[in-house]
Amino acid sequence: MTKLIGDTKFINLPLFKKGKVRDVYELGDKLLLVVTDRISAFDVVFSNLIPNKGKVLNKLSEFWFDFTRDIVPNHMISTNISDFPKEIGSFKEELDGRAMLVKKAEMIEIECVVRGYLAGSGLKEYKQSGTVCGIRLPEGLVEGDKLPEPIFTPAHKAHTGHDENISQEQMENKVGKDLTEKIRDISLTLYEKAGKRAEAGGIILADTKFEFGIIDGQIVLADEIFTPDSSRFWHIDEYKPGGPQKSFDKQYIRDYLETADWDKNPPAPELPEHVIRNTELKYLEAYERITGTRI
């Protein structure tokens, strides 16, 4: 059984940021991103840990950063612990497979979402107004339908609370037209390439989210990419528009929580053992289907 890691206070480096899932350590012009086994849903972090989750997220991001480096440069330096600073030296077992040394970027505070299918907050908006992030879509679409073409639907990255969808124009007002257009084109190209790869493994990449940053004036892909935390991964074999899809991602936890007596405000409830185990299996299967290897 692999070691469960819920926090990484044992690392003797200054904390750059403690995210919901990742603990990020400061190394001057670099950062050490450590992916814990924490899980969050509806922006609330649970006290239960999901075995192997940190490794799946880290190694899947590593796979995709290699797979997409012809499209855009990314922040990854190494996931090999022998390349890590000596300060973490005595915690090789704890960190092996779950950490990435990256170039520190000045982050663009926009969640760059691409949607190829109708789900989540997109579906909600579509039902109300026939649009997703202000983009008009054909009438008569149902939950889970494939969109005529993938769309770029940015969101404002909220420091507290929930992210808020914005229009492309609002993004232009925040970061400029040129940067917005470049990021939109890169995001759509990334989605197209990764979507084909995922489909070969029997997974529909329904939507996904990127975070970009700037290093030396260049756009760099940062954070995590095409993980089950940042994307919707659906079973291709069981795909059936008209309702929710069977998935390999956090939707399983969200669906469970809808049946639990919880108002989605902290503290989060305890997750039952079978929900933890099923979540682990879904994350592992996503990894295996995409990479063709086991953790």
Ligand X SMILES: Nc1ncnc2c1ncn2[C@@H]1O[C@H](COP(=O)(O)OP(=O)(O)O)[C@@H](O)[C@H]1O
Name the residues that contact ligand X, by CB under 6 A.
17, 19-22, 24, 31, 75, 102-105, 107, 211, 213, 222-223
Residue 72 in tokens: 């855009």
Q: Pick between residue 56 and residue 204 the one whose CB is nearest to ligand X.
A: 56
Beta carbon nearer to ligand X, 62 or 245: 62
CB of 9 to ligand X, least distance (A): 15
Is 17 within 8 Å of 225 (Cβ atoms)? no
Give the CA count within 13 Å in the CB-facing half-sphere of 259.
8
Question: Given the complex with ligand X, which of 40 and 170 has the nearer CB atom?
Answer: 40
Residue 69 CB coordination number (10 Å): 12
Nearer to ligand X, 75 or 98 (CB): 75
Choice between 160 and 293, CB closer to ligand X: 160
**In the bound complex, what is the minimum distance in angstroms from residue 188's beta carbon to ligand X?**
21
Nearest Cα neighbor of 252 from 110, 39, 88 is 39
Q: How far is the CB of 20 from ligand X (least distance, A)?
A: 4
Query: 204 with 234: CB under 8 angstroms?
Result: yes
Q: Which residues contact residue 83 at a Cβ distance below 8 angstroms, ignoring those fewer than 6 apart? A: 77, 101
Shortest distance, CB of residue 292 to ligand X, whole angstroms? 26
In the complex with ligand X, the residue whose CB is nearer, 30 or 246, is 30
Helices of type H across 209-264: 251-259
DSSP 8-class letter at 70:
T
- Residue number, 211 or 249, with CB nearest to ligand X: 211
To the nearest whole angstrom, how small is the minimum distance from the Cβ of residue 35 to ligand X?
A: 8
Alpha-carbon span 203 to 227, nearest angstrom: 12
CA distance 293 to 295: 7
Helix/strand/coil (H, E, C) string of 101-141? EEECCEECCEEEEEEEECCHHHHHHHHHHCEECCEECCCCC
The three-class DSSP label of residue 16 is: strand
State the minimum distance, in angstroms, from the CB of residue 29 to ligand X: 10
Nearest-angstrom CA–CA distance, 83 and 230: 27
Distance from C-alpha of 76 to C-alpha of 31, rounded to nearest angstrom: 10
**Residue number, 17 or 92, with CB nearest to ligand X:** 17
Q: Shortest Cβ contact with ligand X: which residue?
A: 19
Considering the complex, what minimum distance in angstroms separates the CB of residue 106 from ligand X? 8
Q: How far is the CB of 15 from ligand X (least distance, A)?
A: 11
